[in-house]
Amino acid sequence: MSPKQQRGEATVELLLDTALRLYGEEGEQGLTVNAVTRASGVSLGSLYHHFGSIDGLVNALLVRWLERLLGEMLTALERSRTARTGVRALVRAYLSFVRDHPEAGRLLHSSRADRLGMAQAKQLRDAQEARLTPLAGWLQRYVDKGEIAPLSPPLLESLVLGPVIGASRRWLTLGDIDLDEAARVLPERIWRTVSADGS
């Protein structure tokens, strides 16, 4: 990699890190072009060169953290030996990620993420596809073994992740859910929902 490419990569990392820090400190209203360029010391032209717009920067930030979250979830699945332990590991990995990275969690569960996700659903889906395919494959393996109910992969993903996303969003915004309790309770409740025999 040339020195110019290295500088470009360092600039991208600085802009992404600055955007997340500003989001954590000031919320959505803190994510403006002026705030990011002022806090990072990166020129407006450089931000536009690398990301095209503030939405492009936020989209890249969302993809970056979504990929990290999916990576941790898949690592947890790979270490599990059964469908039941896999569901438990997946739930706990998600909740641990949110606890360990609350600013990124807030961004991933924000209305801005929802809006960008709707506006750029195909681009985000394509970026996630390499990560989501192993999750769908893992689920299908246990459907084929008769451990998980024979439902479509999108529905199974919704049944497994929906409660976890809901609990995470509530913890991040209201703080009225105990994540330790969620990590104890949700895996078995979710398992009973998706298991082939309901037990």
pLDDT in tens, 127-168: 555 555 678 888 889 999 999 999 988 899 889 999 999 999
Asked if 105 and 172 touch (Cβ cutoff 8 Å), the reply is: yes
pLDDT of residue 119 exceeding 60: yes
The C-alpha atoms of residue 180 and residue 92 are separated, in whole angstroms, by 9
User: Of all residues in the chain, what percent carry a pLDDT higher than 90?
Assistant: 62
Three-state SS across 88-154?
HHHHHHHHHHHHHCHHHHHHHCCHHHHHHHHHCHHHHHHHHHHHHHHHHHHHHHHHHCCCECCCCHH
Asked if 27 and 40 touch (Cβ cutoff 8 Å), the reply is: no
User: Which pLDDT value is given to residue 122?
Assistant: 57
CB atoms within 10 A of CB 81: 8
User: Which pLDDT value is given to residue 132?
Assistant: 58
Task: Tokens for 114, please give them.
Answer: 């929802």
User: Which pLDDT value is given to residue 49?
Assistant: 93
User: Which pLDDT value is given to residue 1?
Assistant: 74
Tokens 């990929």 -> residue: 67
pLDDT in tens, 64-76: 998 899 889 989 9
Residue 28 — very low, low, confident or very high, per pLDDT cuts 50/70/90? Answer: confident
pLDDT in tens, 83-100: 999 999 999 999 999 999
The C-alpha atoms of residue 188 and residue 102 are separated, in whole angstroms, by 25
Tell me which DSSP letter residue 195 carries. B
The C-alpha atoms of residue 93 and residue 158 are separated, in whole angstroms, by 16
User: Which pLDDT value is given to residue 5?
Assistant: 76
Q: Which range is least confidently modeled, 41-45, 56-60, 122-126?
A: 122-126
Tokens 């717009």 -> residue: 53
Task: Report CA Rg, the chain.
Answer: 19
The C-alpha atoms of residue 148 and residue 196 are separated, in whole angstroms, by 4
The C-alpha atoms of residue 52 and residue 46 are separated, in whole angstroms, by 9
- What mean pLDDT do residues 48-57 have? 91
Q: What is the pTM for the complete model shown?
A: 0.85
Sign of the alpha-carbon torsion through 168, 85, 147, 182? negative
User: Which pLDDT value is given to residue 63?
Assistant: 84
